[in-house]
Amino acid sequence: MRIATWNVNSIRLRAEQAVTWLKETQPDVVCLQEIKCQNEQFPREPFEALGYNVTVHGQKGFNGVALLSKLPLEDVTHGLAGDESDVQARFIEAVVSVKGGVARVCCMYLPNGNPPQTEKYDYKMGFMARLKAFAAERLKLEEPFVIAGDYNVIPGPADASDPSAWTQDALYLPRTRATFRDLLAMGFTDAIRATSDSDRLFSFWDYQAGAWQRDFGIRIDHLLLSPQAADRLIGAGIDKHVRAWERPSDHVPVWVDLKLAA
DNA sequence: ATGACAAAGAATCTTTGA
């Protein structure tokens, strides 16, 4: 089973590219972030035509996440628990049935948090605290469980082409990285890091200043695996070539292959 | 020292992103 995540930066602009990519790699479950539309505006038809079930948690203009799955999506929940006042569309949880049980997947768009020392960073830290509490509960289920998405976290110096450029940034501040490490300490495995030590594995290149051409990238899109998912890890990768397509998203798809079958 | 670039939505500019 292949589970992929991609921040598409508008699904209405990127639907055609998404279809091309889906036909190429045929993932079983796909987590999309920054769809930037409301539920009724989401272009469901091209994805349903490829055999995907679709659940959309959108909002007007910004944010928005969607989950696509070849298997039926069960127990779908929109939103991350822990703050009833949070109206931003950033989280979907669902399960799919697999041999011997279920696989649980979360699609997440974690807040950027810039600039620091504003309420935006407080919101990011609050969201991460809620994520930790949620993840701790889910780990008790001892299921294959994947939290996939745009974490807006550069985990360490190997995850940026020039770490010194990010020291004052919400994506790389010590508190941000420490909270991400807390998730790993709880028992999650960073799928890309579990399969490579390369310091050139990036998932985002800014549109500005020729970042792509200079390979000025960062790794901020992650798939964190529960122990039961990590036990089934076969491989992981980044579909970097997508960034070279015409009118690309600034992020590229990241994926993991797990030894799980329907 | 600063901006670059892209997208959405309300409007020909502002907000947001990273």
Q: What is the pLDDT of residues A9-22, one digit of tens each?
A: 999 999 999 999 99
- Residue A113's nearest nucleotide, by CA–C1', is B18
Protein footprint on strand B: which nucleotides are under 7 Å from a CB? 3-9, 16-18
The pLDDT confidence band at residue A208, using thresholds 50, 70 and 90, is: very high
Q: How confident is the model at residue A67 (pLDDT cuts 50, 70, 90)?
A: very high
Q: Residue A145: which pLDDT band, with cuts at 50, 70 and 90? A: very high
Give all domains of chain A, ordered by start, each with its CATH number.
2-258 (3.60.10.10)
A111 touches strand B (CB under 7 A): yes
**Which residue is closest, via its CA, to the C1' of B17?**
A112
| For residue A106, pLDDT beyond 90 | yes
| pLDDT at residue number A262 | 83
pTM, two decimals, is: 0.97
Calpha distance A189→A76 (Å, rounded): 24
A91-101 tens-digit pLDDT: 999 999 999 99
What pLDDT sits at residue A185?
A: 98
* Catalytic residue annotation of A: 109, 150, 251
Q: How far is the CA of A100 from the C1' of B16 (A)?
A: 44
- Nucleotide nearest to A166 in CA–C1' terms: B18
For A252 and B15, how far is CA from C1' in angstroms? 24
- Whole-number percent of chain A with pLDDT over 90: 99
Phi and psi at A153, nearest 5°, equal -135, 125
What mean pLDDT is predicted for residues A231-259?
A: 97
For B16, nearest residue by CA–C1' is A62
3-state secondary structure A185-239: HCCCEEHHHHHCCCCCCCCEECCHHHCCCCCCEECCEEEEECHHHHCCEEEEEEC
Band of pLDDT at residue A129, cut at 50, 70 and 90: very high
A150 is annotated as contributing to ligand binding: yes
% pLDDT > 70, chain A:
100
Starting at the edge strand found earlier in the chain, the sheet holding A189-190 runs A74-78, A91-98, A101-109, A145-150, A221-225, A189-190
pLDDT surpassing 90 at residue A86: yes
